[in-house]
Amino acid sequence: MPVARPESSDSRIIAHVDMDCFYVQVEQRKLPYLRGLPTAVVQYNEWKGGALIAVSYEARTYGVKRSMRGHEAKEVCPEIQLVQVPVARGKADLNTYRTAGSEVVSILARTGRCERASIDEVYLDLTDAAEKMLAEAPPEIFEPVDDETLKSHILGLTNERGIDDKENVREWLCRKNADHRDKLLACGAIIVAEVRMQVLKETKFTCSAGIAHNKILAKLASCMNKPAQQTVVPLSSVKGLLDSLPIKKMKQLGGKLGSSLQSDLGVKTVGDLLQFPEEKLQEHYGVNTGTWLWNIARGVSGEEVQGRLLPKSHGSGKSFAGPRALKTFASVEHWLNELCEELNERLHSDLDQNKRIVRTLTLHATAYKSCDSDAQKNFPSKSCPLRYGAAKMQEDALNLFQAGLREYLGTYNTRALGSQNNGWRITGLSVSASKIVEIPSIPCCLPLDRGQDDITQEAYLSTLGTESCSGINKSEEHEVFHGEETTGQCGMSSLNRPEQKRKAMKEKLGTRSILKFFKKTDPSCSSIKEHADNLQNVELASTGVRLTERPIEVSDINNGQCTLTQSEHKEAWSYKIDEIDSSVVDELPPEIQEEVRLCLRPQKRSNIAKRGSSIADYFLPTRKT
């Protein structure tokens, strides 16, 4: 539960952007004849037509739901178009959606501090941009005519004179005597409408958005009017909104905590929460959660937009339902190998594109014992330092599994570990990589060792050659995603980046792009500074000149990951460098080890000795004290 911060008096302007049935849109862009048809994306299709994971709005009108199987969907909507998620290595492969999500993030990030909340959701802190707009071009003077802005939904706004709805919204946006915070919200709405149009223009994807004074209200609002619409939450509407809102609608309260509030305290709506003193809530749910609940009831939430464009971990997993549960050690090994191959590939993409290395490998499994009475225990997750290369990861993952299985089965039953099954079943396996550290100055052309698989390695090297090294493509891509680069800062991409071109593009452009209101005041997100430092370039991007010059396509982005700005590297590096353990460096692809070591300060060796310095120590049975 996020820590509440009531002291921050929420006069920020926050937006939550939510892609509309995102996977469907990705498939419809790829297959344009699907546009306008009832469509769903299904994962696998062997069993009952596969599981729906995204449903178009046309299909929803037939009652098609995300929880359905493909066959059920066909029953209620016979003409529904079912598109399958790509499969690689016997499992669902979501890379195309990751890539598409990154396209969107890279556009939204131009507006201000940006947090990638999921593959298809983003938070934006538009406070600075809104304040700048209000100061320099307030809506009350430069009346917005933009249709997308006027289609906004303003919670609590009534249309008493029965005039045209858009005219009604325009009047609200332009009120001279409005509260300062309402004026900022109006600016936020204009900014969000414009950036949503830009997303549509550059990606062909629609999205919906909520604009409010904090994250939780923005999130709440973003799904109130879908698809392709935006909703504003003025301060004056908050109480009326929350009073009758079912408690489960609030983010974080859709699960057990929400149920507990309902059953234990009789709280049905957020408004019902208001009766309870903070102390009471703390007694029931702990200090942090109690305070958080007390604030949420009042529409207060101080969580900041994180300023993070990239995921904090990578995972690859698969479930083995019912009869497909794994019974043999060999089958577990097989699937771990597949999962590790995918993970390894994604880690190398991250290294390539973002210069990030990963430090920890974790194995999760779900299991049950058919005969055993001791059904409570979960299969324990296990982790160890991550060694790059598919073969090493496979070896380590299998060892982690073995360690977990021993613990899961208990000491008496260890003889059952042989390849014969002795009652245990594995219904889920996943490997994940976490503790990602950004590293500077890895030359982008280094041929990285991919691991053992020749085919994979070959494919990798070829993409590296064309995409990462010399090609025009790559430098163009850098230009889209990077801001100005700090000179002298381990300048890797300055080599092949056409700086001159930027300057040449400084010509005068359309007069009133709102993106010019982005300001550099927030030190916590360096990318904002960069964009502010390059106003002309930002304007270029926002006015579609870049688009005209070279449209963004799916193939422009390698593997579902955005590229970090250089100064983000610098900032992260400056305080994370000391944390890199030399034993981790040992496990990097040999070619970059030296590179990384050069950047390490006079070693501060610390915490490798706990388990011993050998990887093998991580797989021994955990000893009791």
Partner DNA sequence: ACGGTTGGTACA
Partner DNA sequence: TTGTACCAA
What residues are labeled active site?
A: 121
| Distance in Å, CB of 47 to DNA, minimum | 4
Distance of closest approach, residue 118 Cβ to DNA, in angstroms: 6
CA–CA dist 154, 168 (Å, integer): 10
CB of 560 to DNA, least distance (A): 8
Instruction: Give the ranges where 207-277 is alpha helix by DSSP (H).
Output: 215-222, 238-243, 256-265
CB of 134 to DNA, least distance (A): 30
Closer by beta carbon to DNA, 362 or else 402: 362
Buried b (16+ CB within 10 A) or exposed e, 436-447: bbbbbbbebebe
User: Cα–Cα distance between 478 and 563 in angstroms, integer?
Assistant: 8
Cβ proximity of 339 and 429 under 8 Å: yes
Binding site for DNA (CB under 7 A): 1-3, 43-44, 47, 51, 53, 66-67, 91-94, 98, 118-121, 219, 251-258, 286, 288-289, 306, 311-319, 321-322, 324, 342, 360, 362, 368, 378, 380-383, 427-428, 430, 432, 579, 607, 622
Closer Cβ to DNA, 250 or 541, answer by number: 250
User: Pick from 474, 434, 560: which is nearest to 88 by CA?
Assistant: 560
Nearer to DNA, 383 or 493 (CB): 383
The whole-angstrom separation of Cα 44 and Cα 318 is 12
Task: Say which amino acid occupies 77.
Answer: C
d(CA 407, CA 467): 45
**Strand-strand pairing, 87-88 and 51-55:** unpaired
Least separation, in Å, of the C-beta of 250 and DNA?
A: 7
Could you tell me where the beta strands, DSSP code E, fall in 278-329? 314-319
Q: Are 124 and 111 in contact (CB under 8 A)?
A: yes
47 vs 62 by CB, closer to DNA: 47
Other Cβ atoms within 10 Å of 119 Cβ, number: 18
Find the shortest distance in angstroms from Cβ 583 to DNA. 11
Q: Which is nearer to DNA, 24 or 588 (CB)?
A: 24
- Identify which of 208, 214, 215 has the alpha carbon closest to the alpha carbon of residue 192: 208
Choose between 183 and 314: whose C-beta lies nearer to DNA: 314
Helix (H) or strand (E) segment spanning residue 354: helix 329-354
Residue 292 or residue 329: which is nearer to DNA going by CB?
A: 292
**Of 404, 418, 432, 400, nearest in space to 327 by CA:** 418
Long-range contacts of 330-336 (CB under 8 A, 24+ apart): 330/419, 332/398, 332/401, 332/426, 332/429, 333/398, 335/90, 335/429, 336/363, 336/394, 336/397, 336/398, 336/401, 336/429, 336/431
**Could you give the CA distance from residue 541 to residue 380 in angstroms, rounded to a whole number?**
48
Render the burial of 541-554: b for 16+ CB within 10 Å, e for the rest. Answer: bbebebeeeeebee
User: In the complex, what is the shortest distance from the CB of residue 425 to DNA, in angstroms, rounded to a whole number?
Assistant: 7
Sequence-distant (≥ 6) Cβ neighbours of residue 22 within 8 angstroms: 54, 97, 100, 101, 119, 120, 205
Q: What is the DSSP string of 57-99?
A: HHHHTTT--TT-BHHHHHHH-TT-EEEEPPEETTEE--HHHHH
Nearer to DNA, 430 or 563 (CB): 430
Least distance (Å) between residue 459 CB and DNA:
19
